Amino acid sequence: MLEPRFQTGDRVKVIKAAPLGHVRTPWYVRGQVGVIERLCGKFGNPEELAYARSGEPKQPLYRVRFAQTELWPDYAGKPGDVVEVEIFQHWLEQA
Amino acid sequence: MGIPEELGKYRPLSYFQMMEVSLRELLVEKGVVSEAEMAQAMQEIRARGPERGAKMVARAWLDPAYKERMLANGSQAAEELGFEVPGLKLIVVANTPAVHNVIVCTLCSCYPRMLLGLPPDWYKSHAYRRRVVREPRAVLAEFGTEISEAVTIRVHDSTADMRYMVLPLRPAGTEGWSEEQLAGLVTRDSLIGVKTANNP
């Protein structure tokens, strides 16, 4: 069982990678910096489960909040607008 | 009333449709489920609407303690009202005068079906999934929902094990309404966040 490395409020960067196979990290947040909104719990790794493997060890899953204006340089909304995305711990590093 | 036109058109099954039919027939053949059970389950899934989610919202509007429990643990709050949500990790996000929430699954079509029924086709469309994370205000405006510049928009991308439901703002002019009356104002679209609850 993996222990959570981040807590609410931590700044994190999503790893910029393009592994083959079933991945639940959307392209538009790869390489982007966000803030941990909450820890959701620990869940089987979907990149393993998709191929009928055990999904162990379970990965901590976080909700990460990104500023829209950082994701999209030409964002037309308000500076405070955000997107929150669920991201597994192995896709995150300290920012 | 004639026969709907599409019934008369032949379309070959796609790869995944074929896989679904094969699996279903095998399960019946091996006695795991019966045709009747399958038909019953399909009928229940198709008949389910957003009533359960609407009831949770109406309860939260009337009972601040329930609202607090619902925001802390959505799945438990659903079970508290007798709605079985096996395996569903529900997060309820509350609209406030300063924040408007909207739900999407950019990777597929994750949706709290146990509480809201089947997702509408537009929720699964590439256009909605692609655009609502990129230009939420424009998408909401197309639904007829104008969000003031003073209000922050939070888009929730349901990418993994959580499912989301919006707790819309209680409409003005509903003082003294019963839970049942209030639930009648809560639409599917307001639970996804592309609209507000209906006005009385």
- Asked if residue A77 lies in contact with residue B153, where contact means CB atoms within 8 angstroms, the answer is yes
pLDDT for residue A66: 98
Asked if residue A69 belongs to a domain, the reply is no
Q: How far is A83 from chain B (nearest CA, A)?
A: 5
Q: How far apart are CA B175 and CA A82, in angstroms?
A: 32
Residue positions of B annotated with a catalytic role: 105, 108-110
Q: What's the domain count of chain A? A: 1
Q: What is the pLDDT of residues B28-74, one digit of tens each?
A: 999 999 999 999 988 988 899 999 999 999 999 999 999 999 999 99
CATH classification at residue A42: 2.30.30.50
Asked if residue A73 belongs to a domain, the reply is no
Q: What are phi and psi of B149, to 5 degrees?
A: -60, -25
B158/A26 CB distance under 8 A: no
3-state secondary structure of A44: coil
- pLDDT beneath 70: ranges in chain B: 1-9
Q: What is the pLDDT of residues A13-55, one digit of tens each?
A: 999 999 999 999 999 999 999 999 999 999 999 999 999 999 9
Asked if residue A4 belongs to a domain, the reply is yes
Q: Which domain holds residue A7?
A: 1-60+82-95
pLDDT for residue B8: 63
Asked if residue A19 belongs to a domain, the reply is yes
Q: Is B158 on the interface with A (CB under 8 A)?
A: yes
Quick one: which of B123, B129, B101, B102 has its CA closest to B111? B123
Chain B residues closer than 8 Å to A86 by CB: 157-162
pLDDT for residue A61: 97
* CATH code linked to domain B51-192: 3.90.330.10
Q: Is A85 on the interface with B (CB under 8 A)?
A: yes
- Asked if residue A86 lies in contact with residue B158, where contact means CB atoms within 8 angstroms, the answer is yes
Q: Is B162 on the interface with A (CB under 8 A)?
A: yes
Q: What are phi and psi of B113, to 5 degrees?
A: -60, -35
Please report, for chain B, the start and end positions of each structural domain, with discontinuous segments joined by +.
Answer: 15-47, 51-192
B138/A76 CB distance under 8 A: yes
Best of B159, B162, B163 to substitute, by most chain A Cβ atoms within 10 angstroms, is: B159
pLDDT for residue B1: 43
Asked if residue A51 belongs to a domain, the reply is yes
Best of B161, B163, B166 to substitute, by most chain A Cβ atoms within 10 angstroms, is: B161
Which residue of B136, B138, B157 is in closest CB contact with A84?
B157
**Phi-psi category of residue B13: left, alpha or beta, with phi > 0 → left and psi -120 to 50 → alpha:** beta
In this prediction, does ipTM exceed 0.90? yes
Percent composition of chain A: helix, strand, coil (DSSP 3-state, to 5): 15, 35, 50
